[in-house]
Amino acid sequence: MWNKNWQKIKIFRSKAFKVILLIVLIVISLIFTSVPIIAYFGYNNTPSIFAIFVVICYDTFTVWFGIHNFRNKKS
């Protein structure tokens, strides 16, 4: 039953919706992970920029990997 309802809702199957969802997830994870790093390194320090760059790469990979795992489990 859940599968049939999921098929009916076309917006969830569109690629644009998945891209928007991915961007939202990355932004949310960035907010949660970069705030402590900025607080730790100080706002005007150079290491904070490098640390935020590392966090962006890590978050993008984590979210992408998580979505692909979820998609594989669902089907």
Question: Is 5 a domain residue?
Answer: no
Question: Is 9 a domain residue?
Answer: no
Split into its structural domains, the chain has a count of 1
Q: Give the global pTM.
A: 0.37
- Of 22 and 68, more confident: 22
Contact 55, 38 (CB under 8 A): no
Q: In terms of residue numbers, what domain contains 44?
A: 14-74
Question: Is 55 a domain residue?
Answer: yes
Question: Is 68 a domain residue?
Answer: yes
Band (pLDDT 50/70/90 cuts) for residue 56 is: confident
* 30-40: pLDDT as tens digits: 777 777 766 66
Using a 10 angstrom Cβ sphere, with 0-12 exposed, 13-18 middle and 19 or more buried, the burial of residue 62 is middle
Question: Is 21 a domain residue?
Answer: yes
Q: Give the chain's mean pLDDT.
A: 69
State the Cα–Cα distance between residues 64 and 70, nearest whole angstrom: 10
Report the helix count and the strand count for the chain, using DSSP H and E.
3, 0
The C-alpha angle 65, 25, 50, rounded to 5 degrees, equals 80
Band (pLDDT 50/70/90 cuts) for residue 72 is: low
